[in-house]
Chain A
Amino acid sequence: MTLKVLLPLACLLASTACQAGSRIIATGGASSIEGSAGGGIVPWAVLNGYASSDEWGATAFASQVGVDDFTLKVQGASVSYDNRWEWSFARQSFKLDTLGGQLRQDVFGMKYHLAGELLYTALPQFSLGLQYKKQRDFALPQAVGAHNDSGLDFYLAASKVLFNQVAGRNVLLNATLRATRANQTGLLGFGTAGDNSYQFVFEGSAVVLLNYNLALGVEFKQKPNQLAFANEQHWRDIFAAWFVNKHLSLVAGFADLGSIAGLDQQQGYYLSVEGAW
């Protein structure tokens, strides 16, 4: 048992000391900007890394999203155990390139795999997730009407790989239902003076696995629109992922973040690199 606890620490310090877990390549997805395993902007029911039953896994990642007037930089890490539990951390800094200044946020995530196995059961894999978000630059969000500098998101995600679907390729489908009070995922704080209740939003991803190492995907993320000072819109992206091996994956994409803080049509690149042990 001591070994099981110490192993992930050793893994983080020295990658060569550890083998990747037993799960099949690409089944850990990527690290979403909130740190949870998923696509780029949607958390999935899969767990980060490759830990299968009774195994530990760990990941570390860095992502960057550059749209017309903003740049989001994220760094984070996660640990998972038994293909059942995932604990993640992500530190976001959102640079207001045109307006000046930045908004920083930390996201602490936890995910529990409830039922189903991504590859092996007719039932999709279901996971329940929780994200505690803490805004670190609350002055601006407060000034534009946000009520809280922290908030809890809850989500239920379902993911399933369907074999031999598109020109003989496998397809991964994911649907996520999230309860949130976050404005612009929390970068603009949580709730408003007038309305501090939870909103239910839908998020979805569809991915074609071209082979074991390459995948193409689309994502959609519905968002609330609570703050009166500016319109908030749904997010979308398309991406290509390259799982070089079970230790290294790269994602490049194109993201459409709609209107942010009064600046419309925020579109640009998405880049992410993840290491897994």
Chain B
Amino acid sequence: MSFSTKLTVILLSALLLSGCSQTNSPSLYQQLGGAAGIEAITDGLLHEIEHDHRIVHHFADTDIARFRRLLAEQLCDLSGGPCVYSGGTMQQSHTGFNISLADYDALVEGLIKVMQQQNISISAQNQLLALLAPMYKDISYR
């Protein structure tokens, strides 16, 4: 069936092309809108968490100002911005909360909603998700 062969060829060439087009592209930090963009993502996510009955209870005793500052700092650091994350390790910070897969999914869903609202490109969204997804093993069930 030549149609599916064609599609496979298109998919493969797109894969190859995407590997070659990395030069001179703006950093993820810039794609997220720099300091202002990351602040907006952080505040948006805090708003989502606050209204998400599935996970808000985890934050009952949290110093929200500190959490907000450190989360923004971490997103800035991770995305290649001019910040150095100064908080605890993900493992330390989340120990004792027994954060489940469903909690993690809920938070990621909230983050996606915020990034969509802020018209962040799908590529930048996926780059950020690629950085955050692997933290699951350090954050969950501790």
Contacts and interface: CB of A to CB of B under 8 A. Distances in A.
Given A120-B136, A208-B11, A237-B4, A166 B18 contact: yes
Contacts of B123: 164, 167-169
Interface residues of A, number: 35
A168 B126 contact: yes
Q: Chain A's interface: helix, strand, loop or mixed, by majority?
A: loop
Given A163-B133, A164-B126, A52 B101 contact: yes
Interface stretch (B38-46, B68-76, B79-87, B104-112): B104-112
A256 B1 contact: yes
Nearest to A84: B101
User: Which of A166, A167, A206, A236 has the most chain B CB within a 10 Å cutoff?
Assistant: A166
Interface in B10-26: 11, 14-15, 17-18
B102 A54 contact: yes
Contact of B109 (A24, A121, A165, A167): A24
Given A53-B101, A168-B121, A121 B1 contact: no
Nearest to B123: A168
B27 interface: no
Interface in A94-124: 117, 119-122
A23 interface: yes
A236 B54 CA distance: 41
A146 B75 CA distance: 61
Given A52-B105, A83-B101, A238-B7, A167 B127 contact: no
Interface residues of B, number: 33
B88 interface: no
B129 to A, nearest CB: 6
A59 interface: no
Contacts of B100: 52-54
A181 to B, nearest CB: 27
Contacts of A167: 14, 17-18, 123
Interface in A205-236: 206, 208, 210-212, 216, 218, 236
B137 interface: yes
A23 B101 CA distance: 9
Nearest to B130: A163
Contacts of A256: 1, 4
Contact of A117 (B1, B101, B126): B101
A165 B104 CA distance: 23
A170 B133 CA distance: 13
A244 B134 CA distance: 28
B134 A165 contact: no
A23 B105 contact: yes
A135 B15 CA distance: 43
Interface string B108-142: 11001000100001111011011001101100000
B53 to A, nearest CB: 10
Interface of A: 21-24, 52-55, 83, 117, 119-122, 163-170, 206, 208, 210-212, 216, 218, 236-238, 254, 256, 267
Q: Name the 6 nearest CB pairs between A and B, nearest first.
A: A168-B123, A120-B136, A163-B130, A52-B102, A53-B101, A164-B126
